[in-house]
Every structure is written in C-alpha cells, then in structure tokens.
Amino acid sequence: MIEYVDEDFGFFKEEFKTDKNLSKILLVTGGAGFIGANFISYILDNYPEYRVINFDKLTYAGNLNNLSLIENNPNYVFMKGDIANKKDVKNVYEEFNPDFVVHFAAESHVDRSIINPDIFLETNVIGTQNLLNFAREHKIEKFVLISTDEVYGSVEKGHSSIETDRMEPNNPYSASKAAAEFLIRVAHQTYGQRVNVVRSCNNYGRYQFPEKIIPKIICNAMQDKPIPIYGDGKNSRSWLNVKDHCAAIDVVLHSGKSGEIYNVAAKNEISNIDLAEKILKKMGKPLDLIEFVFDRPGHDKRYSVNANKIHNQLGWSPKINFDDGLDETISWYLIHQDWVKDVISGEYMNCYQKNGAGIK
Ligand code: NAD
Ligand code: DAU
C-alpha cells in the first residue's frame, strides 16, 4: 500500500498496485495536457491491465479535468511534479518503478517560446535529461520521446521530410525539441538505453488548449470573435487526429526498434486560411470573422513528413478522415463550453495580450 502525506502532491489511491508481476507500469509525463490526456484514456481502454502514472507539473496547459472520465480507474494515479526538478523525478521513479516511460511533458506553444525561451530549455531539455538519467538507473524497458515535425524546419513544396533528413529548427520551441532528441540519441548510443522518438505533425481533437489554431478558430467563432490569421495565411500544416497519434505511439512503444525515429502523419495538408474558412463554413459562421494580423517571427512556411517508415515497418496508418475528425472536434468544443471557459483563464489571456504574433 502506498501512503501519501502531501495532498498537494497528487491524488493518490490506496488500491493502486505497484507490484511489477501484475502487469506493465507506464509512466506518462505531461498527461494532463492535450495529447497526454488522450493517450492515457487510450491506454486504459486498450490495455485494461496496465497501471498508468500521470506525472505533470500542471502548468497553464495542464488540466486535470481532461482526465475526469478516467480519474476513478483503479489503474490510474496522478502525481504532481516538475520534470526539471531532479528530486521530483527521483521520487516518481522510486515510488512507482515503471517499466515504460512515454514522455509528453513540454512547453509546447511556439508563440510562447518566442517570448520566453528559457522555460522551454528548462522543461524540454533539462527535464528530458533528468527523466533519462533516472530511466537508466531504473533500467526502463522503453523510453519514448514525443517529438515533432517542427525539428525539420520549414520544408519546400514537393518534399516530405524523412527520418534521416537534417534537423533545422527555426524557433526556440523546435530547437528545444531537437535538443531533447539529441539527448535521446546519446542515451541510446552511449548508455545503451532502449529509446524511440516519434515525430508527429500537428494534432487536433478534444482537450486541446485554445491557444492553438484549430480550437482557437472554433472557440472564437463560437463567440463571434475575430479569428487572427498570421501573415498572408498561406503557411500550411498537416493535421492528424489525436486518436490516430495515440495509436501510433502505442505501436512504437510496443514494437518500435530501439534507437529508431518514426515520423507520424496523415495526408491532410492545408493552408491556415483554407483551414479557417473550412471550419467557419462547418460552423455556419461568416468568413469575415477572419482577420489578417502581424506574422509570427520566424514563421515556418510549411511542414510535411513522410510516414512510410512507421506504415511499412510497424503497420500503422491513420484511420480518421479529416472532415469527420473536424466535425467531431467542433461538436466536442460546442458541447464542452464549460471546459473552454475554465481554461480561458487570466493566465491564457495575459499571454495572448503580450504575444508579439497576432498583435497589429
Ligand atoms: P500541452 O501543452 O497541451 O501539454 C503539456 C503538458 O505538459 C501539460 O499538462 C503541462 O502541465 C505539462 N508540463 C509542462 N511542463 C512540465 C514540467 N516541467 N514538468 C511536468 N509537466 C510539465 O502539449 P501537447 O500539445 O499535448 O503536446 C504534448 C507533447 O507532444 C509535447 O512534447 C509536444 O512537443 C508534442 N507534440 C505536440 C503536437 C501538437 O500538435 N500538439 C504535435 C507534435 C508533437
Ligand atoms: O507541427 C507540430 C507542432 O504543431 C507541435 O510540435 C506544437 O507543439 C504545436 O503547437 C503545433 O505548432 P504550430 O505552431 O504549427 O501550431 P499553432 O496552432 O500555434 O499554429 C498553426 C498554424 O497557424 C501556424 O502556421 C501559425 C498559425 N496561426 C496560429 C495561431 C495560434 C495563426 O495564423 N493564428 C493564430 O492565432
């Protein structure tokens, strides 16, 4: 039985079993964020015998309401902690002795990284190294870093990045993710740790913080507020439903060859202006809500990754059609307006106001 003294430290369950012989114990970092919360639900649904620890600092982007559907599951516990703090990281490994680590925790928003790069280095770089150090000590079976297609930098039309392409990050966020990837490489090459990196394109779906473009368009449109589109709106991104991303991480965790990097994407490339118009049409809102605003400094024109490797070697392919996924996401935000009100807090608005990008 686990005994806990500090209520601020987390929501603990006496029934949570740490006996290694029962089944796998999975440490998820950043599980209160958008993709992490979806991933925890996915794992508990698909591996009902696994035990999952959600280790999260609860920054502005971490919201335990994202776990409300599974918080009473006896195989799930939350532990509050900072990956950049060695003591917190030591505690979580010692307490739970996990088999696997799936590492989502990060500062994830490019605009914020332009304003304050330091916290991106602390969390995304130092935090990753702390997790790797204790993973080595605890002989973790597999450590998966959730990285991003942004590490490739902007990609010319006609090309889709493959895993062996050079990393050429152009903003503090993507540079910090590239640095984290190099630390993963070192853990494998120098210390023989079993690792993978997943490089996904832009995700969309439920629980995404409305500073990101798709939920921002939906949430602003719901309130008939202007939709800020950076520059000329011709920058393009490709979009993957978060559920498809979770399935990709599952196959990499269980079947990925140690030391390998896997791109993950669906073929849904669209310019930001076309995306905004598509969503407004679906919502029956006027297109003149769109407002062209000051561009993001260093704004990458285009991301595109080739996901043939994960398809050919591990059998993963995306299942969710973009229009269906968008319809479902719009409905989710319309139904969960309380969730939206909750997250659009003072902290979010402060950042929005200070943000260089988007302010004319
Ligand atoms: P998010 O911002 O929604 O969530 C990040 C989570 O990490 C939050 O719960 C936050 O509280 C937690 N966190 C932040 N700093 C922490 C720290 N120091 N210690 C512990 N927890 C901390 O992010 P997301 O969009 O869910 O992205 C998750 C991961 O996926 C990130 O690593 C990101 O780089 C990567 N990624 C995201 C996308 C996307 O489209 N959202 C695409 C590719 C890769
Ligand atoms: O490509 C994967 C990356 O996708 C992840 O690694 C990041 O964590 C995630 O935040 C996302 O980064 P982007 O910068 O691509 O996402 P964002 O939603 O911020 O912006 C998407 C595009 O929309 C980008 O070209 C900038 C533009 N944009 C964004 C915002 C917030 C606007 O035009 N207006 C806006 O208000």
CATH number at 11 reads 3.40.50.720
**Residues within 6 Å of ligand 1 by CB:** 29-30, 32-36, 56-59, 61-62, 82-84, 104-108, 123, 127, 146, 148, 177, 200, 202-203, 209
- Of residues 2 and 142, more confidently modeled: 142
Helix (H, G, I), strand (E, B) or coil at 19: coil
217: Cβ below 6 Å to ligand 2?
no
Q: Is the pLDDT of residue 347 over 60?
A: no
Instruction: Give the number of the atom of ligand 1 that is nearest the alpha carbon of residue 63.
Output: 9
pLDDT computed for residue 15 by the predictor:
74
- The answer to whether the beta carbons of residues 203 and 270 sit under 8 Å apart is no
Range of the domain at 59: 6-203+240-265+304-318+346-355
Task: Please name the residues in contact with 305: beta carbons below 8 A apart, sequence gap of 6 or more.
Answer: 149, 152, 160, 161, 162, 199, 201, 238, 263, 264, 265
* Residue 38 within a domain: yes
- The answer to whether the beta carbons of residues 235 and 292 sit under 8 Å apart is no
* Residue 291 within a domain: no
* Residue 245 within a domain: yes
- Number of domains composing the chain: 1
pLDDT computed for residue 20 by the predictor:
80
pLDDT tens track for 6-41: 455 555 676 787 778 789 999 999 999 999 999 999
pLDDT tens track for 82-139: 999 999 999 999 999 999 999 999 999 999 999 999 999 999 999 999 999 999 999 9
Alpha carbon distance 127, 89 (integer Å): 9
* Residue 338 within a domain: no
- The answer to whether the beta carbons of residues 168 and 194 sit under 8 Å apart is no
If you average pLDDT over residues 347-355, what whole number do you get?
A: 48
pLDDT tens track for 152-207: 999 999 999 999 999 999 999 999 999 999 999 999 999 999 999 999 999 999 99
* Residue 213 within a domain: no
* Residue 34 within a domain: yes
* Residue 350 within a domain: yes
pLDDT computed for residue 356 by the predictor:
39
Mutate to test the pocket of ligand 2, among 146, 225, 272 (most ligand atoms within 8 A of CB): 272
* Residue 284 within a domain: no
pTM, two decimals, is 0.95
If you average pLDDT over residues 345-349, what whole number do you get?
A: 53
